[in-house]
Structure 1
Amino acid sequence: MLTSIFLNVIANISILTTASYILVKLIPKKKIYTISLSQRLWMIGLSGVTSSLLMLFSVKLPENVILDFRHVILILLVYYFGSSVSFPIAVLMAVLRLLWGINPSSIRTASIYIVLGLVLPYVCKKLMKWFNRYAILLMLNAICVSTIALNLFLLYDNLLLSTFICLSVLLLSSSVVIAVTLFIEDLIRMRSLFLKEQERAKMDYLTGLYNMREFNKKWQSIAANDSVRTTAFMMLDIDHFKCINDKYGHANGNFILRQLATILKVGAPDSELVYRVGGEEFCLILNNLPYTEQKKIAEKVRANVASKEFLLENGAGINMTISIGLAASTQKKDMKNLFRLADRCLYKAKNQGRNRVIGATLESE
């Protein structure tokens, strides 16, 4: 008997761990995300399969009572995904229990699961104000085991036996909850590290702006995006930046680049569409704006930079200017030619005296 219980516990842990791994994999690899309807359905389906497998490895007791760790699935879903996923699972668990045979024990168990599906999300939300995740999950587990104890007492009318069984279930299930939660948290931590590394690969280490590689990816996505009707590249370059580096040193040059990056992010319609594409070259993408508005934005950025005093590391201030080449596409999105046109416009701005905006449209070329 003890050997059978031990093997069933091991099987339950293995099944729950595997299901947890798949559930974490279903979470979108994004810093900010929402669970889509299809992902919720996958989670519900996976949880239903997991529940059925756990029932196969349950401990059989008199009066058609079966004990396993199905409730652990429920409390994990309540904690990590909320009622939108956990309540449908609770209903599914109730149905699955009835499919294994309709009797007083199964009817009461099915009813308990539905009640838990309604109550646990509310309790979890309240506990989050006061306790850490492990304490919360252990408390939710204790609530579930208490309902099991009540069911057993009503069936056996034996307080001592019911208490002994439920204390055993509480100790075992608490160990399982801790083990599975540690596994899930490790997976989530690894996922978070992956996202951070992925984000670093997109970023320019000095300014914190997106880099040239991300810029290339973005223009490819814009070309394929029908919701972007018009687009423009605003290419800019610091005037006489080599002289600044030579006179004040590269450390001060880097300090100035970081200050300029902040100005560009503040002045851009979308701070996510600002890129460092070279040493002192930056590019802003302007989507779904008329050409006149694009030129106003470019001129405003140029004027802001010209009027600002840039600080050096010793606290002294210097003034500098930028030249801007603006290339717009008003009818077609030929991104490669748009980039070349922006570069040519920037070159013209440099040749015509710097500290100015030169703009053109693809259609006028």
Structure 2
Amino acid sequence: MLTSIFLNTIANVSILSMASYILVKLIPKKRHYTLGLKQKLWMIGVSSATSFLLMLFSVDMPQDVKLDLRHVIFILLVYYFGSSIAVPTIFVASLLRFLLGVNSASIRAAAMYAVLALIVPILSKKLTARFNQYAVMVMLNMVFVLASALNLYFLYYDRAAAIAIFFSLLLLSSGVVIIVTLFTEDLRKSFSLYLDEQEHAKMDFLTGLYNVREFNKKWQKIQIDKSIKTTAFIMLDIDHFKWINDNYGHANGNFVLRQLATILKIEAPDNELVYRIGGEEFCLILNDLSYTDQQKVAEQIRAKVAEKEFLLENGNDIQLTVSVGLAASAQNKDMKKLFRLADRCLYDAKNQGRNQVVGSIMETE
């Protein structure tokens, strides 16, 4: 008997760990996401199948009662994904229990889980506001175990047996809950680190803006995105930046670049579309704005830079200017041509005296 319980416990832990891994892998690889219907259905399917597998490794009790750890998967779902996935899974798993026999024990179990499906999500929210994930999981586990013990008491009318089962199952399942939670949290931490690395790969380490690699990816997406009708590039760089580096040092030059990046993020219509594409060269992407509005954005950036006092590391300040090239698309979005046009406009702005905006609309073919 003890050997069977031990082996079934090992099987339950293995099954739950595998299910946790699959559920975490189903999460979109994004910092902020909303689960779609397809992903929710996959999670419900995986979780329901997991609960059925756990039933196959249950401890058989008198009157066709099966003791297992299927409730752990429900606790994981409630805590990490909410009731929209946990509640349907509980009802599907209750129906799957009938595949192992329709009797008073299975009907009682189904009714018990139906009641818990309504109570546990509310309880989880209240507990989560006050305790950490491990405490919440253990307390939710206690609720399920207590409900199971009460169910067995009203089935057997044996108080001593119900109490013995309660404490035995509580001790065992609490250990399993902690193990599975540790495993899940480790997966989530790895997932978070992966997202951090992905984000860092997109960023320019000095300014915190997106880098040229991400800029190239973005304009390729814009080119095939039919929902974006028109787009424009604003290219700019700092006038006489070499003189700043030569006279104040590269550390101050970097300090100036970071301050300019801040201005661009504030003035850009979409601060997610600001890029550092070279040493002192930056580019903004403007989508679905009129040419007049594009010119206003470009001129506003030029003016803000010209009026700002840029600080140096010693506390002194300097004035600087930027030259700006604006290239706007008409109907077609040939982004390579648009980029070359913006670069040529920037070149013209510098040749015509710097500290000015030169704009052009790309001719349609």
| Distance in structure 1 (CA, Å) of the matches to 2:86 and 2:291 | 50
Tell me the amino acid that sits aligned with residue 84 of structure 1: S
Q: Give the CA deviation at 1:364.
A: 6.9
Report the equivalent of 2:346.
Answer: 346
Aligned pairs (5 A) from 1:184-195: 184-195=184-195
Distance verdict in 2 for CA 1:321–1:293, change over 3 Å: same
Q: Give me the whole-angstrom Cα distance separating, in 2, the residues matched to 1:255 and 1:44.
A: 51
2:310 is matched with: 310
Other structure's SS at 1:297 match: helix
Q: Secondary structure at the match of 1:66?
A: strand
Residues 331 and 364, structure 2, Cα contact 8 Å, conserved in 1: no
Write the distance in 1 (CA, Å) between the matches of 2:331 and 2:29: 35
- Structure 1 residues not aligned, in runs of 5+: none
Give the structure 2 partner of residue 214 of structure 1: 214
* Structure 1 position 99, deviation (Å): 2.9
Q: CA deviation at 1:115?
A: 1.1
The answer (yes or no) to whether the contact 1:58–1:68 under 8 Å persists in 2 is yes
Q: 1 CA distance for matches of 2:2 and 2:128? A: 37
Give deviations 1:35-58, integer Å, cap 9, x for gaps: 111110000000111011111111
Aligned mates of 1:272, 1:23 — CA distance in 2: 30
Q: Structure 2: which amino acid aligns with 1:263?
A: I
- In 2, Cα distance between the equivalents of 1:123 and 1:12? 25
Question: In structure 1, the residue corresponding to 2:33 is in which secondary structure?
Answer: coil
Which residue type is aligned with residue 170 of structure 1? L
Instruction: Indicate conservation of the 8 Å contact 2:330/2:364, yes or no.
Output: no
Q: 1:49 to 1:364 in 2, by over 3 A?
A: closer
Q: 1:315 and 1:112 mapped to 2: Cα distance?
A: 69
Distance of 2:48 and 2:90 partners within structure 1 = 9
Query: How far apart are the structure 2 equivalents of 1:226 and 1:117?
Result: 44
> Which secondary structure does the structure 2 equivalent of 1:285 belong to?
strand
SS state at 2:363 partner: helix
Following TM superposition, by how much is the alpha carbon of 1:296 offset from its aligned partner in structure 2, in angstroms? 0.8
Q: Secondary structure of 1:363's partner?
A: coil
**For residue 246 of structure 1, what is the aligned residue in structure 2?**
246
Would the aligned equivalents of 1:236 and 1:346 in 2 still touch at CA under 8 Å?
yes
Name the CA distance, whole Å, in 1 between partners of 2:198 and 2:243: 35
For residues 364 and 227 of structure 2, what CA distance do their matches in structure 1 show? 23
| Residue aligning to 1:157 | 157
Correspondence for 2:38: 38
What are the residue-to-residue correspondences of 1:18-57 with 2, within 5 Å?
A: 18-57=18-57
- Output the CA distance in 2 between the equivalents of 1:56 and 1:128: 32
1:80-99 pair list within 5 angstroms: 80-99=80-99
Name the amino acid aligned to 1:7: L
Q: Could you give the per-residue CA deviations for residues 132-177 of structure 1, whole angstroms, max 9, x where no partner exists?
A: 1100000000000001001110111111111111211111111110
- 1:201: which partner in 2? 201
1:126-141 matches, within 5 Å, as 126-141=126-141
Equivalent-residue separation in structure 2 for 1:6 and 1:128 (angstroms): 31
Identity %: 66
Contact 1:209 1:275 in 2 (8 A): yes
Contact 2:234 2:324 (C-alpha < 8 Å) held by counterparts: yes
Q: Verify the 8 A CA contact 2:325 2:342 in the aligned structure 1.
A: yes
C-alpha distance in 2 between matches for 1:104 and 1:154? 11
Asked whether the equivalents of residues 77 and 85 of structure 1 are also in contact (C-alpha less than 8 Å), the reply is: yes
AA matched with 1:182: L
Q: What do residues 238-277 of structure 1 show as CA deviations (whole Å, max 9, x unaligned)?
A: 0000001111111110000000000000000000000000
- State the alpha-carbon separation in 2 of the partners of residues 99 and 111 from structure 1: 16
Q: Which amino acid aligns with 2:201?
A: A
Q: String of CA shifts for 1:262-302, please: whole Å, max 9, x gaps.
A: 00000000000000000000000000001111011100100
- The Cα shift of 1:98 comes to 2.5
Cα displacement string for residues 204-252 of structure 1 (whole angstroms, at most 9, x for unaligned residues): 0000000000000000000111111000000001000000111111111
1:328 aligns with 2:294: no
Return 5+ residue gaps in structure 2 as ranges. Answer: none
Distance 2:166 2:9 in 1: 15
Which residue identity is paired with 1:86?
A
**Superposed CA offset, 1:71-97 (max 9, x none):** 000011000001111110111122112
CA contact under 8 A between 2:298 and 2:324: conserved in structure 1? Answer: yes
> Number of residues paired by the alignment?
365
**1:319: Cα distance to partner?**
0.4
TM-score (structure 2 length as normaliser): 0.99
The whole-number CA distance in structure 2 between the counterparts of 1:312 and 1:99 is 75
Q: CA RMSD in A?
A: 0.9
Instruction: Give SS of 1:63's match.
Output: helix
Question: Given the alignment of the two structures, is residue 172 of structure 1 paired with residue 199 of structure 2, yes or no?
Answer: no
Whole-angstrom distance in 1 between the partners of 2:245 and 2:260: 15
Q: Structure 1 residues 292 and 364 mapped into 2: Cα distance closer, same or farther (>3 Å)?
A: farther
Distance 1:127 1:237 in 2: 53
Whether the aligned pair in 2 keeps the contact of 1:291 and 1:330 (CA below 8 Å) is no
Q: Give the CA deviation at 1:183.
A: 0.4
SS in structure 1 of the partner of residue 87 of structure 2:
helix
